[in-house]
């Protein structure tokens, strides 16, 4: 095959866990479905969590595979259970990655920005490099203008709302909702780990979003911030069969049939699904407040409890420390709720017609997955760029109710019960009621869900962007050969 007809070969170098690894695997599969030859680069341990979905794609004829980087026996990357924090050091992968790239010379590599060393390492090899950083355009614009105009410096208190200048909409935040490195950059003892600007000297940015969701911010991100970007999402929609949905990220720790029969027994749009993503560790006291709030609201729910902050727990095995006495028996007997300990099959749950709302920590993947399912949301941001995502959901798209989370908490800080049971109860009732406000939110959310699906179908905006990127990579190859 000559350089015009041979498929574009792309290497994908995902981060080592959670909300960054999951979407990049989907992106590799999407490009394969557009005719590229996709290869995912990872360690043998990390490959285990997505090997099966890659096998299924191969069986259906897609050109997608995994290449593993071998580490010396005495070196390991902590947390292969989806909980690698954004500061996990992955630099031991640098030399094996460089050797692999030098040997194969793909047309391009897409790497995660959390591999902080990778931009420099790849640059030295002269292979076109695309950056993936897990966020949407809205939060990137908010962060950019916070840095540029520093509106928080004029706020008189941590709780006085200020407007982020220069954006297409009125976006309000408080200082208490900003990441610590923006709020107190000179705090004693705090040394931010710099990520630099991985977009510099890159071929561009691959974004998990779709144009119709945040058009003004896509334009801002490209034109005002000068990014060359391709939007190829929502990437979760490439998971079309039940196995892919049930095993995405990790195999679910609950029997999916049990979950589905619980949902089948419920009225359409009556169940609230609750999840704080793959990373967040809630304090036992906070879980108690959630449980009391859910019980008071009297709405059916599925609660993926996720991780519990351990050092604060005296006796984690004793459920009384994080569940009200008799809570589980009561919800079991009344068939009102289901608690999932560990990993939930989130995509399967969200798309079930009985689910009518999503209480989310506003991680970008969860936000998009809620949008795809056409669901209104209760927003409960905790860290990272989640407070910006909350503003997009609740204030710009108007498909969410804020629970009233006010404090950005660092991954390394001990969490506490920041939101009380009354706020949980009120937010659930507001979202799940048949009030005019809730009906209107649901209507808007459904409309967005339809747009999301259209974006990834043939001729849709994300479909076209993926094709356009492949064409551009081919033309670079042509002009260089």
Cis-peptide into 234, omega within 30 deg: yes
Residue among 11, 162, 211, 343 that touches ligand UDP (CB under 6 A): 343
Nearer to ligand UDP, 220 or 343 (CB): 343
The 277-306 contact track toward ligand UDP, x by CB under 6 A, reads xxx------------------------x--
* Sign of the dihedral defined by the CA atoms of residues 377, 81, 85, 120, in that order: negative
Residue among 43, 145, 209, 365 that touches ligand UDP (CB under 6 A): 365
Q: Which residue has the tokens 């970007």?
A: 229
Nearer to ligand UDP, 100 or 362 (CB): 362
The reply to whether 233 sits near ligand UDP by the rule CB under 6 A is no
Nearer to ligand UDP, 18 or 179 (CB): 18
* Binders in 20-39 for ligand UDP, by CB under 6 A: 22
Residue among 38, 39, 346, 405 that touches ligand UDP (CB under 6 A): 346
Largest CA distance in the chain: 70
Min dist CB 363 to ligand UDP, Å, is: 2
Of 427, 371, 437, nearest in space to 404 by CA: 427
Return the range that interacts with ligand UDP (CB under 6 A); candidates 271-279, 291-299, 448-456, 472-480: 271-279
Distance of CA 436 to the CA centre of its chain: 30
Residue among 39, 43, 174, 275 that touches ligand UDP (CB under 6 A): 275
Of 465, 462, 301, nearest in space to 372 by CA: 462
* C-beta atoms surrounding 267 within 10 Å: 10
Nearer to ligand UDP, 295 or 369 (CB): 369
List Cβ neighbours of 296 (8 Å cut-off, separation of 6 or more): 421, 424, 425
List Cβ neighbours of 442 (8 Å cut-off, separation of 6 or more): 269, 356, 376
Give the DSSP letter of residue 448.
Answer: H
Report how far residue 340's alpha carbon sits from residue 12's, in angstroms, rounded to the nearest whole number: 32
Report how far residue 397's alpha carbon sits from residue 441's, in angstroms, rounded to the nearest whole number: 9
Residue nearest to ligand UDP (CB): 19
List Cβ neighbours of 230 (8 Å cut-off, separation of 6 or more): 130, 204, 205, 206, 207, 465, 466, 468, 469
Return the range that interacts with ligand UDP (CB under 6 A); candidates 142-150, 179-187, 272-280, 443-451: 272-280
Q: How many residues bind ligand UDP (CB under 6 A)?
A: 18
The reply to whether 135 sits near ligand UDP by the rule CB under 6 A is no
Min dist CB 25 to ligand UDP, Å, is: 10
Min dist CB 349 to ligand UDP, Å, is: 9
Return the range that interacts with ligand UDP (CB under 6 A); candidates 64-72, 137-145, 258-266, 340-348: 340-348
Report how far residue 237's alpha carbon sits from residue 373's, in angstroms, rounded to the nearest whole number: 10
Report how far residue 461's alpha carbon sits from residue 329's, in angstroms, rounded to the nearest whole number: 48
What is the full DSSP assignment across 77-141? -S--SS---TT---GGGHHHHHHHHHHH--SEEEEETTSTTHHHHHHTTT--EEEE-S--HHHHH
Report residue 238 as tokens: 């490439």
Nearer to ligand UDP, 364 or 463 (CB): 364
Residue 46 a catalytic site member: no
Residue 20 a catalytic site member: yes
Residue among 15, 31, 301, 364 that touches ligand UDP (CB under 6 A): 364
Active-site residue (options: 26, 57, 107, 112): 112
Return the range that interacts with ligand UDP (CB under 6 A); candidates 89-97, 162-170, 276-284, 446-454: 276-284
Return the range that interacts with ligand UDP (CB under 6 A); candidates 112-120, 158-166, 343-351, 446-454: 343-351
**Residues forming the active site:** 20, 112
- Chain residues binding ligand UDP by CB under 6 A are 18-19, 22, 248-249, 275, 277-279, 304, 343-344, 346, 363-366, 369
């Amino acid at each position: 095959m000559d350089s015009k007809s041979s498929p574009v070969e792309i290497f994908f170098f995902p981060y080592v866990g959670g909300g960054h690894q999951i979407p990049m695997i989907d992106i590799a599969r999407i490009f394969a479905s557009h005719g590229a030859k996709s290869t995912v680069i990872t360690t043998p341990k990390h490959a285990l969590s997505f090997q099966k979905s890659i096998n299924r794609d191969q069986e259906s004829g897609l050109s997608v595979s995994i290449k593993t980087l071998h580490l010396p026996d005495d070196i390991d990357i902590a947390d292969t259970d989806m909980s690698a924090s954004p500061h996990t050091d992955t630099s031991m992968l640098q030399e094996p990655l460089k050797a692999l790239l030098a040997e194969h010379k793909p047309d391009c590599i897409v790497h995660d920005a959390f591999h902080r060393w990778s931009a420099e390492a790849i640059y030295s090899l002269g292979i076109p490099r695309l950056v993936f950083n897990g966020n949407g355009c809205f939060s990137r614009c908010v962060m950019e203008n916070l840095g540029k105009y520093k509106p928080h410096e004029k706020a008189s208190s941590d709780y006085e709302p200020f407007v982020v200048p220069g954006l297409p909409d009125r976006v309000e935040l408080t200082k208490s909702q900003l990441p610590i490195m923006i709020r107190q950059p000179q705090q004693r003892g705090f040394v931010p780990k710099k990520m630099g600007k991985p977009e510099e000297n890159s071929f561009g940015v691959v974004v998990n979003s779709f144009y119709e969701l945040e058009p003004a911010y896509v334009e801002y991100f490209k034109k005002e911030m000068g990014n060359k970007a391709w939007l190829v999402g929502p990437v979760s929609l490439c998971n079309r069969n039940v196995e892919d949905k049930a095993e995405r990220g990790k195999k679910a720790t609950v029997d999916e049939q049990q979950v589905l029969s619980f949902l089948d027994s419920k009225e359409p749009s009556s169940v609230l699904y609750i999840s704080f993503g793959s990373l967040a560790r809630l304090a036992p006291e906070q879980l108690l407040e959630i449980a009391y709030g859910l019980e008071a609201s009297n709405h059916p729910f599925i609660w993926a409890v996720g991780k519990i902050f351990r050092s604060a727990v005296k006796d984690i095995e004793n459920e009384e420390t994080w569940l009200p006495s008799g809570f589980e028996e009561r919800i079991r007997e009344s068939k009102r709720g289901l608690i999932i300990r560990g990993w939930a099959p989130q995509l399967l749950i969200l798309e079930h017609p009985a689910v009518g709302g999503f209480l989310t920590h506003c991680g970008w993947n969860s936000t998009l997955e809620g949008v795809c399912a056409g669901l209104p949301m209760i927003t409960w941001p905790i860290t990272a760029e989640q407070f910006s995502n909350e503003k997009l959901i609740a204030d710009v798209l108007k498909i969410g109710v804020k629970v009233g989370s006010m404090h950005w908490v660092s991954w390394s800080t001990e969490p506490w019960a920041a939101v009380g049971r009354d706020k949980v109860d009120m937010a659930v009732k507001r979202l799940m009621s048949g009030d005019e406000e809730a009906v209107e939110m649901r209507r808007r959310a459904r409309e967005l869900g339809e747009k999301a699906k259209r974006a990834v179908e043939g001729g849709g905006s994300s479909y076209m962007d993926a094709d356009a990127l492949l064409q551009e990579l081919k033309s670079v190859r042509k002009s260089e050969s």
